[in-house]
Amino acid sequence: MKAVTWMLLAPFRYFRSTMYRRILLSFFFIIVLTVTVLMTDFYFRTAGDLRSQSVDSMMRLTQQSSATLNSYMGNTKAFAWNYFGDAEFQRFVLTMGQDPDALSYYQNKFIQFINDNPIMTSVTVIQLDGFSTRVGTSFLDTVPGERDRLIDIGLEQNGKGAWVATSIDNRNVDAGLTLAFVQAIRNISLSSPGPTIGVMIYEMSPVSLRQWLKDVEGNGNSLTSIVRSEDGSVVYGSAAEASESVALSPEELVRIRSGGANGHFNSGKGAGSSLAVYQKLTGTDWLLMSRYPTHKLMQPVNDFTKRTVVIGASILLVAMLLASFLSSRTMTPLKELSKGMKSIEVGNYAINLPVRSKDEIGYLSTSFNRMAREIDRLIVKVYETELVKKNAEIKALQSQINPHFLYNTLGIIDSLSTMDGDGRVSMISRSLAKMFRHNISGQPVSTLEAEMTQIRLYLSIQKIRFDARLDYSIYLEPGLEDVPIPKLLFQPLVENSILHGIGPSVEGGVVRIEATAADNGRVEVSVWNNGCPIMQVKQAWLSKRLSSHVRSGELYLEESSIGLLNVQSRIRMLYGDACGLRFMSSEERGTTFTVTIHRQLPGEGDVHADHHH
């Protein structure tokens, strides 16, 4: 007997042995008692009140939503009715397409109406003879046959007007349904109502209508649709109910007809039961109806039960919150260190983390800051080294171009030297001497005016060679004379125009060089010729080469393109990718190469100092 008593009292002795265990046991009984009382009280006293409150809330929401839709529909009907008896509007419809002022006037009226009623998207006026006008905030095209159906409905109503569901095809959203108000236009006179001369169609925005429907459905617990009270079919509804499907049974229709303008009733049985709330829409035979599944109505009760169970367990999490507070002093520096590493990943090496302590975490932050500063210093050093390397590459590129013209010119001199008494040799020699004197001056930078002088000397030599087959003109916009540029930057473009444009052409042609100011502090130098155009295959190849990052040491596949690729490479190295060389070529418009550069060179101050020395 004593052994049995000992075993029965063992749990009591276990919890009594320490205060910690007694507190845990007390909390356990308090939580269990609280949950039991709350659940019992809720189920037996508040479940009915909750259902009643839910019904009242749903009724208010349905009434408010129907009032909003009634307001838009009433405004639309009133607006359309004003034009039904407007003699000036009737004359406009009869003469549609003949009076631009009247067309603009009424289009502005319709646009103002759409702006005042955001749910409307377009207004269409259709003359029975074929003319029509349409205004709106979106571009809606009715599906095939839908426009004729709407016109027929308007004619059947004989001027009274009617709201109908219509299919639309929107270029920006998926095709769907919307609502439209259709009213015939008659040529009314003092003696008779007159014949029907047209139809007005006012379309609601499918996007706004779907948004309105979502607002009615709230958090998605209900299924809302517009239903015909005559046969219970759906006029407009959410994606869960297809158009023209039957939403009401004959018994439910009887309840609605005997229930007045609004009301509610229970529908279905078992798991599929629901609470249906309806509100009649003014001026139509439509109902705004929302169905709320019964199991979702009781969801708050079930949720409350679950919450009360969770509350007990949540109390145990208080200790975790305290632990979280203490651990935050360790986690905060680690989070900052993580953000710092992400900044390093995206290239921000100037970051400096706050050092909050002198412990191991503080040592990590200090080491990270030291590492970031060292990386930043090394990057700056590498950048400066790359600048020096680029300057060397630019000089190498320029040295590739200088002999190119020399060989061509010496060929001309060699040919002309065989002619006795020809003064052209002297002229070519003098021009060539001036060009060489400019090129070997030792300064890498020139000015636009000096480069234009060099081009003029070059073209004067080529003029002797081609005689009447070559004409040229040079234009430098005033104010750009002192713009600094690298030597021989665009001379290869002129050489290319002579060699590949004028040279192969039997008739010869014209070369035109123009330097003009552009936006954002830039200058454009264009070289145009009307000689032979560039072949399409060569254009595609050259475009690809110019758009890629060309390096000075790269092997060019075609010798004829060395100058062009060198020019592109020099520009990209000096000015960056925002500047460069582009071209266009066709047989009708000739060939144009355009160089875009900045008005100033990088490090321009130092360059000018050397240039004017």
pLDDT in tens, 455-506: 998 999 899 888 889 999 999 999 999 999 988 888 889 999 999 999 999 8
**Model confidence band, residue 416 (pLDDT cutoffs 50, 70, 90):** low
Handedness of CA 422, 424, 426, 428 (dihedral sign): negative
Cα 177 → chain centroid: 27
What span, in angstroms and rounded, lies between the C-alpha atoms of 301 and 295? 10
307-323 per-position pLDDT tens digit: 766 775 676 666 555 55
Q: What pLDDT sits at residue 331?
A: 63
Evaluate if residue 244 carries a pLDDT over 60.
no
CATH of the structural domain 314-379, one choice from 1.10.8, 2.40.100, 1.10.3470, 1.10.10: 1.10.8
Question: Under CATH, what is the fold of the domain 210-299?
Answer: Beta-Lactamase (3.30.450)
Q: What pLDDT sits at residue 434?
A: 73
Looking at 248-298, list the stretches that DSSP marks H as alpha helix, in order from N- to C-terminal side: 250-257, 294-297
**Model confidence band, residue 256 (pLDDT cutoffs 50, 70, 90):** confident
Question: Under CATH, what is the fold of the domain 384-611?
Answer: Heat Shock Protein 90 (3.30.565)
Q: What pLDDT sits at residue 402?
A: 56
Would you call 221 exposed, middle or buried from its count of C-beta atoms within 10 A (0-12, 13-18, 19+)? Answer: middle
Q: What pLDDT sits at residue 483?
A: 93
What span, in angstroms and rounded, lies between the C-alpha atoms of 60 and 68? 12
Residue 417: closest CA among 428, 433, 403 = 428
φ, ψ dihedrals at 302, nearest 5°: -65, -40
151-191 per-position pLDDT tens digit: 888 888 877 888 888 876 655 444 557 888 998 888 877 66
Non-local CB neighbours of 109 within 8 Å, separated by 6+ positions: none
What span, in angstroms and rounded, lies between the C-alpha atoms of 342 and 330? 19
- Cβ atoms 165, 201 nearer than 8 A: no
Q: Are 85-204 and 384-611 in the same CATH fold?
A: no
- Per the DSSP assignment, residues forming a β-bridge with 234 are 227
Higher-pLDDT residue of 171, 351: 351
Q: Can you give the residue ranges of every domain in the chain?
A: 2-48, 85-204, 210-299, 314-379, 384-611
Return the minimum-mean-pLDDT range out of 64-78, 329-343, 503-517: 329-343
111-151 per-position pLDDT tens digit: 999 888 888 888 999 888 878 888 886 545 556 677 888 88
- Per the DSSP assignment, residues forming a β-bridge with 127 are 198
Cα distances (Å, whole numbers) of residue 176 to 141, 169, 223: 12, 7, 18
19-28 per-position pLDDT tens digit: 445 655 665 6
Inter-helix orientation angle 47-84/206-217, to 10°: 160
- Average pLDDT estimate for 86-99: 86
Q: pTM to 2 decimals?
A: 0.44
Question: Under CATH, what is the fold of the domain 85-204?
Answer: Beta-Lactamase (3.30.450)
What span, in angstroms and rounded, lies between the C-alpha atoms of 286 and 232? 9
Looking at 143-221, list the stretches that DSSP marks H as alpha helix, in order from N- to C-terminal side: 146-157, 206-217
- Average pLDDT estimate for 196-201: 88
Higher-pLDDT residue of 152, 51: 152
**Model confidence band, residue 414 (pLDDT cutoffs 50, 70, 90):** low
Evaluate if residue 361 carries a pLDDT over 50.
yes
- Cβ atoms 154, 199 nearer than 8 A: yes
